[in-house]
């Protein structure tokens, strides 16, 4: 049985399109056919216009045939989380209060994708305002289980081979957790590395853009096109283009040494996940060492909650004023708590974060290439009323450190069991290089 183009990695599809062995129209047609097959069960898409997608694909093919320079993603379809603005498609932020909202301009990341030649295939389902109330999406491996959230549709669409690449966002655990639950490769870069201009703002301190793919190569390909400065995001800065693809493919000069950090929440991890991690540690031998979390970070989970609630309450106040009764009870409760947060408490926790970041910088400089820790308590929980606990992502999001999850293991129920690697801030390509080393080590 011949391989469908929808099964190709983004990198391989880009090579075939560049060589003339595949057209973007053929690739997008294959993705749309796959969507027709599995979308009724998975329900990953919030907005999809087949003709508009095919029109973009034909334009990409014409660019290649004309001989004009084309970008690294020319003709490659990408799914966009429905909190990221697209000028030619609705962006409804997962709330009825924004039903039919169509922005006037693209988010910075969407503009970068278009400049690289990508086809914006459609908008993927988000939880309500990228918080905890689930949308309609189901886990593609078992529709009775959650796909995770809040980037539910992006994670599920990539895992179900509907699209090779997708964008999400993370304020607590909304990229790494659904990536792990759905069996994707998912990457949350250093805070401020990818601009968030034109994305629903929940928390300037915590919000990150995240990437979903089916290989490390594809994560690197996508990250290379999205990182950079945008004057609409005050946390970005001018920097040279990061050659993610070449750096992540380099052999480490010496085998990496990895720190295994359980965090205070290890006892809550599922039994089969603990057993799987025990086997992984045994396989890594002297390349991994258990390290206790710094006492200074022990309250970080409470700090993250304080920051998130206060900043979300402020940023989502227009929704609160326009129709709080139409928001979910979960979101209303968060906003009520945030509106009661004292300024002194908010400022106090903000001031504590840099010292913890410095402690981790010292850990990396002294000995370790990456930190290994679970991305979640186990495999995707059964049921669709919740999206799972982000507790194993919260710390790294708060500290703005890059993180990646790899689908290296399997739970007792047969669902994917991810492995999270965390790196030093601003050493994102090195983290992907270590992730590739880990993947090869496990496969050996």
Relative to beta strand 370-373, strand 416-422 is: antiparallel
262 catalytic residue (yes or no)? no
**CB-based contacts of 432: which residues, under 8 Å, 6+ apart?**
187, 216, 219, 220, 223, 244, 247, 248, 404
| 24, 81, 152, 248: the active-site residue | 81
174 catalytic residue (yes or no)? yes
The contacts found for 405-409 with CB under 8 angstroms, 24 or more apart, are 405/176, 405/179, 405/180, 405/184, 405/185, 405/186, 405/375, 406/185, 406/216, 406/435, 406/438, 406/439, 407/180, 407/183, 407/184, 407/185, 408/280, 408/438, 408/439, 408/442, 409/276, 409/280
| 24, 112, 123, 150: the active-site residue | 150
Distance (Å, whole) CA 260 – CA 270: 17
248 catalytic residue (yes or no)? no
| 151, 154, 169, 174: the active-site residue | 174
Residues designated catalytic: 81, 150, 174
């Amino acid at each position: 049985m011949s391989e469908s183009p929808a099964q190709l990695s983004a990198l391989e599809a880009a090579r075939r399109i560049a060589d003339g062995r595949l057209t973007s129209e053929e690739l997008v047609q294959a993705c749309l056919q796959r969507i027709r097959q599995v979308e009724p069960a998975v329900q990953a898409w919030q907005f999809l216009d087949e003709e508009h997608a095919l029109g973009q694909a034909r334009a990409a093919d014409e660019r290649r045939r004309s001989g004009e320079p084309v970008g690294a993603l020319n003709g490659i379809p990408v799914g966009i989380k429905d909190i990221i603005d697209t000028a030619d498609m609705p962006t409804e932020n997962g709330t009825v209060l924004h039903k039919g909202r169509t922005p006037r301009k693209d988010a910075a990341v969407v503009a970068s994708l278009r400049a690289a030649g990508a086809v914006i295939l459609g908008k993927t389902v988000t939880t309500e305002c990228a918080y905890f109330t689930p949308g309609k999406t189901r886990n593609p491996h078992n529709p009775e289980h959650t796909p995770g959230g809040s980037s539910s549709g992006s994670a599920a669409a990539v895992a179900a081979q509907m699209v090779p690449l997708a964008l999400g966002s993370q304020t607590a655990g909304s990229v790494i957790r659904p990536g792990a639950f759905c069996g994707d490769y998912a990457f949350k870069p250093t805070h401020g590395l990818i601009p968030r201009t034109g994305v629903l703002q929940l928390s300037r301190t915590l919000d990150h853009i995240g990437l979903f793919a089916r290989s490390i190569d594809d994560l690197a390909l996508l990250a290379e096109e999205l990182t950079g400065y945008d004057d609409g995001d005050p946390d970005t800065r001018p920097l040279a283009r990061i050659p993610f693809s070449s750096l992540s493919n380099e052999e480490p000069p010496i085998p990496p040494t990895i720190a295994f950090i359980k965090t205070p929440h290890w006892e809550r991890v599922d039994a089969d996940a603990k057993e799987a991690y025990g086997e992984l540690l045994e396989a890594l031998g002297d390349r991994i060492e258990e390290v206790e979390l710094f006492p200074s970070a022990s309250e970080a989970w409470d700090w993250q909650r304080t920051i998130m609630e206060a900043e979300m309450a402020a940023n989502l106040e227009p929704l609160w004023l326009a129709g709080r009764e139409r928001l979910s009870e979960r979101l209303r409760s968060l906003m009520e708590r945030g509106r009661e947060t004292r300024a002194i408490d908010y400022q106090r926790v903000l001031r504590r974060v840099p010292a913890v970041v410095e402690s981790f910088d010292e850990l990396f400089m002294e000995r370790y290439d990456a930190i290994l820790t679970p991305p979640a308590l186990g495999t995707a929980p059964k049921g669709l009323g919740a999206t799972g606990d982000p507790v194993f992502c919260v710390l790294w999001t708060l500290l703005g450190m890059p993180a990646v999850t790899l689908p290296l293991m399997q739970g007792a129920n047969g669902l994917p069991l991810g492995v999270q690697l965390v790196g030093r801030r601003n050493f994102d390509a090195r983290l992907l290089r270590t992730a590739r080393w880990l993947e090869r080590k496990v496969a050996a």
